[in-house]
Amino acid sequence: MRRDALAGVVVGVIALPLSIALAVAVGVSPATGLYTAIFAGAVAAVFGGSEFNITGPTAALVPILSHTVLTHGPEALPLVGLMAGLMLLAMSAFKLGRYMRFMPGPVVLGFTAGIALSILFGQFNTFFGITGTDPTLEHFHQKLADSLSHLSTVGFATPAVGLATLVLLIAWQRTPRIDRIPAILVAVVGITAVTWTLGIDTPTVGSKYGEIPRGLPMPTLAFVDTGLVFDLLPIAFSVAVLGAIESLLSAVVADGMAPTSTRHDSNRELFGQGLANIVSPIMGGIPATAAIARTAAGIRNGAATRLTGVFHSLTVLSVTLLAGGLAVHVPLATLSAVLVVVAWNIAEVPELRRLVQRAPREDVAVLLATAGITLFFDLTYAIAFGIVASAVLLLSRLVKLPAAEELLPDETGRIKQVSPELSELIQTRRDIAFFTAQGMLSFHSAAAFEYELSGDAKDPLILRMKDVHHVDTSGLLTLEGIIEHRQSHGGRIILTAIQPDLYPVIDKFGIFTKLGPENVFEHTRCAIASIDAPDGRSTHPTNAH
């Protein structure tokens, strides 16, 4: 309990300024970010599937939520959160947690890089104090061009405050022995104290958003607007998918960092995140996910159980109620600098550089395209493109794999796919064609499978099925066609070594009936013995199925 309490306090202290900064970046009041950390953080900690995940507002959701605010207004965010929460509960109910973890690496890094760039350039106006820009512009290139055209409005004080915060953040993190004290807390408190004491004229949280409420909001569902549901459906889906990916990635990272052997339950984690995203908007918050950086900070500071997440929420709650009024003095440029560092951290620049240099070109293309679509268009399109592109690449690679391979001796005189004894036996029967099927007999391999087995239809053919672990309708239809073709030409085809779990699938489709029991064997050597040799000798095994 003591370890969890201490770790929770540290994470809560980190979450305080970050929650305010992320809410401001989205375009809603700072209090909204605090309520998200309090309520979503506590619910996800109690009901989630990870002992260590810390949930709250995260940078990953900033671009899509800020886009929602721009196109539908801030009042749409609670409904987006509620819909995303229901979708996450559905994902949990259908046990999709295990599949969400298999999002292709280039796609994840691609839209993470795109998100980082969106956040980075999104802080341009605030960091430099640029005024007079058009707030209705949606796309990155439009906003950047608009900002550059208003550079004449830049003063001295605001960029100086932002730069001072940035230098302090970087220097503090790189200084030995003091880096355990959260750099964000030091930078926000220190720079705020200096600007407030010296009376530096720079925009603050209070000058833009007014006072932060000292109390807590009443639960409400007044934000539910059925007329908006259809319009917000793609956004809510993107929030749910991204929230699931981010939370499960955080859980995986936590499993690797934790000193115990405890592993997360992916479906329960989706359930907890779903509940958190339902409770958060009802209590005045915005959509939330697990945060990798805050989760890691909790583990590094001794977190032992899920109570760390509860103490994190209680810390944010206590400070909000007791000292939330002081947050109005925080310079917006300071929060902007915090988000610049966050963007750099989530971009994983060293990993990106290594991937671009060493990964296959098609994977790099997917990464760059996903990042570009995230930055210039919309995260919804980026996720859809990334998933489809990766599926196409996977399919193209699977198609290149051999669907069936003829059993032939290598340079050593051995057939490597079988035992030495069976290799010798196969090589004594030159009158029989021997093939082994590979991996999955499916729609992607059906054409190649048929091509490989399209030899002389009059020769007897033995097809080993030992390495086939999946067969779908396309594969069964192809196998049926090959059997019919050989039988129509007076040839014989025998199946051997069929995996037990595939036997009922093949049997139900009628393959065994079409072949006849005399052409299905458990062992290849028995199948060989059932075929008369060219000299007329014949042996008939008794273990045919």
pLDDT tens per residue, range 406-453: 888 888 888 888 888 888 888 888 888 888 888 788 877 777 777 777
Q: What is the pLDDT of residue 545?
A: 44
pLDDT band at residue 236 under the 50/70/90 scheme: very high
Residues 411 and 507 in one domain: yes
Q: Are 123 and 25 in contact (CB under 8 A)?
A: yes
Looking at the fold, whether 185 and 117 belong to one and the same domain comes out as: yes
Identify the band that residue 195 occupies on the pLDDT scale cut at 50, 70 and 90: very high
Residues 340 and 426 reside in one and the same domain: no
Looking at per-residue pLDDT, the higher value among 62 and 138 belongs to 62
Q: Is residue 33 a part of any domain in this protein?
A: yes
Q: pTM for this structure?
A: 0.78
Confidence check: pLDDT of 542 > 60: no
- Residues β-bridged to residue 463: 435, 495
Quickly state the pLDDT bin for 180 (edges 50, 70, 90).
Answer: low
Among 347, 368, 386, give the residue marking a domain's end.
347
How would residue 278 be classed by pLDDT, with cut points 50, 70 and 90? very high
The answer to whether residue 277 scores a pLDDT higher than 70 is: yes
Q: Which of 323, 347, 371 is the last residue of a domain?
A: 347
Q: How confident is the model at residue 178 (pLDDT cuts 50, 70, 90)?
A: low
> Interhelix angle for 292-300 vs 307-323, to 10°?
100
Range of the domain at 486: 404-529
Are 338 and 444 within one domain? no
**CA geometry: angle 268, 90, 293, nearest 5 deg:** 50
Residue 373 within a domain: no
pLDDT in tens, 372-408: 988 888 777 887 887 788 778 777 777 777 778 888 8
Return the closest-CA partner of residue 294 out of 30, 34, 37, 27: 37
Neighbours of 153 (CB within 10 A): 14
What are 240-274's pLDDT values in tens digits? Answer: 998 998 999 899 889 888 877 778 999 999 999 99
Distance CA 386, CA 260 (A): 34
Among candidate residues 347, 363, 378, the one where a domain is terminated: 347
Higher pLDDT, 469 or 534: 469
Say which residue, 236 or 322, is predicted with more confidence.
236
CATH code where residue 411 lies: 3.30.750.24
| 111 and 203 inside one domain | yes
pLDDT tens-digit series, residues 206-228: 888 888 887 889 999 999 999 99
* Contacting residues for 495 by C-beta, under 8 A, at least 6 apart: 463, 465, 511, 515, 519, 520, 521
User: Does a structural domain hold residue 368?
Assistant: no
| pLDDT at 108 exceeding the cut of 90 | no
pLDDT at 489: 83
* 64-107 per-position pLDDT tens digit: 999 899 999 999 999 999 999 999 999 999 998 877 766 777 88
- For residue 187, pLDDT over 50 is answered with yes
The answer, yes or no, to whether residue 333 has pLDDT greater than 90, is yes
Cα–Cα distance, 119 to 465 (Å, whole number): 53
197 and 286 part of one domain: yes
Q: Does residue 403 sit in helix, strand or coil?
A: coil
Please provide the average confidence, as pLDDT, over all residues in the chain.
Answer: 87
433 within a domain of the structure (yes/no): yes
* SS3 state at 205: helix
Q: Are 181 and 286 in a shared domain? A: yes
Residue 486 has pLDDT above 80, yes or no: yes
What is the count of structural domains for the chain?
A: 2
